[in-house]
Chains A and B, each alone.
Chain A
Amino acid sequence: MTWFLFILLSVMVIGGGLGVVTTRNVVHACLFLLFSLLAVAGLYVVLLAEFLAVVQIFIYGGAIIIVLLFAIMLTRSEEYPSISDNSQWPLAVVAGLALFSLLTATFVVNSRSFEVMHRVALTDLGRNLFTDWALPFEIASIVLLLALIGSIVIAKVERRR
Chain B
Amino acid sequence: MSVSAILMMAMWLLSLFTILSLVVLSLIWIERKFLGRLQRRLGPTRTGPFGLMQPVADAVKLVLKEDMLPSWADKAIFWVAPLLVLVPSFMIWVTIPATEGLVVQNLEMGLFVIVALLILSILGILLAGWGSANKYGALGGLRAAAQLVSYEVPLVMVVVSIAILVQSMDLRIIVASQLPLATAQSILGEANQSNVAFNHIGVPLVLIFPLGLVLFLIAGLAEVGRIPFDIYFAESEIVGGPFVEYSGAHWAVFFLAEYINTFVVAALVALLFLAGWHGPLLPPLLWFLIKTYSVILVIYWIRGTFPRLRIDQLMAFGWKGMIPLSFVGVVITSVYRFYDWPNWSLSLMSLTTLAVVGYWMYFKFTRPVIKLARSYGREPGRSRSAR
Contacts and interface: CB of A to CB of B under 8 A. Distances in A.
A28 B77 contact: yes
Contacts of A95: none
A2 to B, nearest CB: 11
B145 A54 contact: no
A60 to B, nearest CB: 10
A66 B123 contact: yes
Contacts of A51: 109, 112
A67 B145 CA distance: 8
Interface string B350-372: 00000000000000000000000
B96 interface: no
Given A28-B77, A69-B145, A34 B130 contact: no
A1 B3 CA distance: 12
Most chain B CB atoms below 10 A, which of A1, A63, A123:
A123
A31 B127 contact: yes
B76 A28 contact: yes
A73 interface: yes
Nearest to B126: A69
B183 to A, nearest CB: 23
Interface string A62-94: 110111011001100000000000000000000
A50 B122 CA distance: 23
Nearest to A51: B109
B126 A31 contact: no
A158 B119 CA distance: 35
Contact of B120 (A31, A57, A123): A57
A123 B197 contact: yes
Contact of A69 (B76, B113, B115, B130): B130
B60 interface: no
A51 B108 CA distance: 9
A27 interface: yes
A54 B109 contact: yes
Interface string B75-98: 011001000000000000000000
B77 A66 contact: no
Nearest to A123: B197
B120 A50 contact: no
A127 B273 CA distance: 26
B123 A69 contact: yes
A17 interface: no
B1 interface: yes
Contacts of A123: 167-168, 197
B117 A66 contact: no
Given A69-B126, A69-B130, A123-B197, A62 B145 contact: no
Interface in B118-161: 119-120, 122-123, 126-127, 130-131, 138, 141-142, 145-146, 149, 152
Interface residues of A, number: 24
A27 B120 CA distance: 17
A74 B142 contact: yes
Nearest to B76: A28
A54 B120 CA distance: 11
Contacts of A73: 126, 130, 138, 141-142
Nearest to B108: A122
B100 interface: no
Interface in B96-118: 107-109, 112-113, 115-117
Contacts of B113: 54
A35 B126 CA distance: 16
Contacts of A121: 108
B190 to A, nearest CB: 20
Contacts of A65: 123
A70 B109 contact: no
Contact of B149 (A25, A58, A63, A122): A63
B120 A61 contact: yes
A27 B127 contact: yes
Given A31-B80, A69-B145, A62 B152 contact: yes
27 contacts: A1-B1, A25-B74, A27-B74, A27-B130, A31-B80, A31-B127, A34-B123, A50-B108, A51-B109, A57-B116, A58-B112, A61-B116, A61-B119, A61-B123, A62-B123, A66-B122, A66-B149, A67-B149, A69-B123, A69-B126, A70-B142, A70-B145, A73-B126, A74-B142, A122-B109, A123-B168, A123-B197
Given A31-B77, A61-B120, A62-B152, 13 more contacts: A27-B77, A27-B127, A28-B74, A50-B108, A57-B117, A66-B122, A66-B126, A69-B123, A70-B126, A73-B126, A122-B108, A122-B109, A123-B168
Interface of A: 1, 25, 27-28, 31, 34, 50-51, 54, 57-58, 61-63, 65-67, 69-70, 73-74, 121-123
Which 7 pairs across A and B sit closest by C-beta, in order of nearness? A62-B119, A58-B116, A70-B145, A57-B116, A61-B120, A69-B126, A122-B108
